[in-house]
Amino acid sequence: MCGSYALEPLTGDADVVVVSRRLIPDPVRVAHYVLSGAVFNRGRATAKNVLIQYQIHRVGGMKIGQGKVSVSQKDLPGGVIAEYRSLIVGIPSIDDRNVQTKVRWTKKRVPLDR
């Protein structure tokens, strides 16, 4: 899924945000989960090397896992949505509330003459 997300006007520099996140258990394998979602670049400039970082915590707050996920488009132009999806292996009994996601990218500035 790549497309426009026209709910808000685009800003100047690249500005990527997570617009959806979902964690579902694998129906076949125990302690396996699929983390998926989408990011949106609400800036005009292209965001380079877009990457999702996630952390998994127990209910008490102790970190029990972490990782990185690439998005479907490594370089994300302004106004475009891209999806991400990853298999998380070997962590039993978690749900969406136990996962935190952050998006990282290399910023590319909009030229001043625009």
Predicted model pTM: 0.81
pLDDT for 11 equals 76
Higher pLDDT, 32 or 82: 82
Contact 94, 23 (CB under 8 A): yes
pLDDT band at 6 (very low <50, low <70, confident <90, very high): low
Give percent above pLDDT 70 in the chain.
Answer: 87
Structure confidence by residue, pLDDT tens digits, 42-93: 999 999 999 999 999 887 888 888 999 999 999 999 999 999 999 998 887 7
On average, the pLDDT of the chain sits at 85
Q: What is the pLDDT of residue 22?
A: 92
Contacts of 68 (CB under 8 A, 6+ apart): 51, 52, 53, 54
Are 33 and 22 in contact by the 8 Å Cβ rule? The answer is no
Query: How far is the C-alpha of 91 from the C-alpha of 30, rounded, in Å?
Result: 9
pLDDT at 1: 47
